[in-house]
Structure 1
Amino acid sequence: MSDTKKATPTDVTKSNRRKKLLIALAAVVVISGATASAYALLYGSNFISTDNAYTAVEVAQVTPSVGGTVSRVLVTDTQAVKKGDVLVEIDPTDARLALAQAEADLGRAVRRVQGFMANDGSLNAQITARDADENRAAAQLASAEADFERAQIDLKRREALSASGSVSGDELTRAQNAFAAAKANLDATRAAIAQARANRSTAVSSREANAVLIAGTTVESNPEVALARARRDQAAVDLERTVVKAPVDGIVAKRQVQVGQRVQAGMPLLAVVPVTEMHVDANFKEVQLKKVRVGQPVTLHADIYGKGVTYHGVVEGFSGGSGSAFSAIPAQNATGNWIKVVQRLPVRVKLDPAELGISPLKVGLSMTAEIDTRSKR
């Protein structure tokens, strides 16, 4: 009797069924692999994602423009504020006094310039008077010269006649005295005309100096008045700046100021976080960024809300360097122990303000970001 057992029809049927199942399974695996490969190649390769992403915002630092003592602080940390809301008030006493002084200086400058303009007419009149004085002195000089010439001729005649005895000594003496008096009068007249000319020159110089102060201007446009007005306006601005207002809408953070504190211009008081202007810094690997362009759409999820809330944004720009390049202690790659590490480059993603209004975010929250690189913008 043979030990070989012949296969029954049932066994053959089971074997055929097993082969068919294996073939079907292999076909499913091949089709699934092909489908997955095609999906990854044709669709999935157009998307890059990272969970190394965090919310950020341009925080508005609130600092005073003027120094003084803080009289009121109207906000606390975590408080929501609108642009223009009063945050801090500084005692305005010093600023009010400075404004009053500046206004007084402005009034004094206006009156001084008005005096300059009034002096212009007076100085013109003085020049006219000095011209008259000079003309009168010139006439007196002509008279004095004529008297001097006559006295000189008379003296010569009497001196010629005195030798023959035709003229007495007394008459000669009178002629000599008349000549001396005429000469003295001529010298005095010449001095007078020199003084008249000097007086006129002084008056002209005074008018020219006064004209320089008012030339081409009115009282309002005069530089002296303009300077005083600018100082007045600056004092008024400084008074307004004793009230510190919110520069943007947002949430108050890092409040450091207290009532009674003496603050200086530029000293940090608090910060306002504009949560409606939040963006995301997504740190992608350098090998992922080949097809990433500004303007491409981004889908994001925040860990605080999970997958239930989806944010939509666009690529706004790229950082100027990798994170390690801007670290406090940059990596020293020029060493013998260098090991290549894939770097990450921050990509700035702008979020939709409407979505932020519905689901607000805070600075520093973790996010996941996925960029659709199909857009070639």
Structure 2
Amino acid sequence: DVQAAAAKVRTAWLAYARDTLPAPVTGYVAQRRVQVGQRVAPGTPLMAIVPLDGVWVDANFKEVQLKHMRVGQQVTLSSDVYGRGARYHGRIEGFSAGTGSAFATLPAQNATGNWIKIVQRLPVRIALDPAELAAHPLRIGLSMTVDADTRDESGSQLGAARNTRYSTDVFAQYDAQADAEIDRIIKQNEMVSRAMAAQPQPQSQSQRVATHQRNANPG
């Protein structure tokens, strides 16, 4: 019974705590699909949050330009928004595993023999200087001009395999708070039960009559 009651308390606590949805990152709201007063079901996309203080550049270089490009090389960039007056400095972090056409919705599969060679482009990820990014903020999808310094070829052509993951521990805090509330209720009930057990039990009518007779006729 106690475990069943604790499960009900946990469900109610989590339902109450999760009426506020925390974001894993701090950013700007984009593509908002929800309105005030609208009812949403679990799993419904509400909005997109873009952390503009941590954006990067995907430079689409031609395949003939990749021969001397390596991870770690210095890059100079300029944006069409600010012009040549605002310079960004970054470094190459890695290369995509395939060209843009390879991951297209309908990739080219021309096997008829009448094939025209088209120069492919490979996305190259470039990390930007946070201080320069704060001075001249960028937005998603802007056009950039990239100049890579390919003289230092000591780096590798394949970046380290790693995943960028945004997470939040706020739900773990909710679980801990629910456990604390359950423990508090159980301890409170135990104290009440012990206090009631320590109190003298009221005598029944027959017990009171027997006691009175013993007191009236001693010996």
- Normalising by structure 1, report the TM-score: 0.39
CA, structure 1 residues 335+241, in 2 after alignment: closer, same or farther (shift >3 Å)?
same
Instruction: Indicate yes or no: 2:58 matched with 1:281.
Output: yes
Specify the SS of the correspondent of 2:84: helix
Match of 1:310 among 76, 87, 103: 87
Give the corresponding residue for 2:109. 332
Q: How far is 1:280 from its partner?
A: 0.5
Specify the SS of the correspondent of 1:239: helix
Matched ranges for 1:143-222 at <5 A: none
Q: How far is 1:232 from its partner?
A: 3.1
Q: Please give the per-residue CA displacement for 1:116-144, whole angstroms capped at 9, x wherever unaligned.
A: xxxxxxxxxxxxxxxxxxxxxxxxxxxxx
Specify the SS of the correspondent of 2:137: coil
Q: How far is 1:332 from its partner?
A: 2.2
| CA–CA distance in structure 2, aligned partners of residues 307 and 285 of structure 1 | 23
| CA–CA distance in structure 2, aligned partners of residues 363 and 278 of structure 1 | 8
Q: How far is 1:234 from its partner?
A: 4.3
User: In the alignment, residue 245 of structure 1 is paired with which amino acid?
Assistant: P
Higher RCO (C-alpha 8 Å, min separation 6): 1
Give the corresponding residue for 1:245. 22
Give the corresponding residue for 2:9. 232
Q: Give identity over the alignment, percent.
A: 60
Q: How far is 1:239 from its partner?
A: 1.6
Match of 2:137 among 349, 352, 360: 360
Residue range with higher mean Cα deviation, 305-314 or 240-249: 240-249
- Normalising by structure 2, report the TM-score: 0.66
Q: Point out the structure with the larger helix share.
A: 1
| CA–CA distance in structure 1, aligned partners of residues 116 and 72 of structure 2 | 34
Give the corresponding residue for 1:350. 127
Matched ranges for 1:1-377 at <5 A: 109-110=1-2, 225=3, 229=6, 232-375=9-152, 376-377=154-155
User: In the alignment, residue 304 of structure 1 is paired with which amino acid?
Assistant: V
Structure 2, unaligned stretches of length 5 or more? 156-219
Specify the SS of the correspondent of 2:24: coil
User: In the alignment, residue 337 of structure 1 is paired with which amino acid?
Assistant: N
Cα RMSD for the two superposed structures: 1.6
CA, structure 1 residues 286+259, in 2 after alignment: closer, same or farther (shift >3 Å)?
same
Structure number with larger C-alpha Rg: 1
Q: Please give the per-residue CA displacement for 1:64-113, whole angstroms capped at 9, x wherever unaligned.
A: xxxxxxxxxxxxxxxxxxxxxxxxxxxxxxxxxxxxxxxxxxxxx23xxx
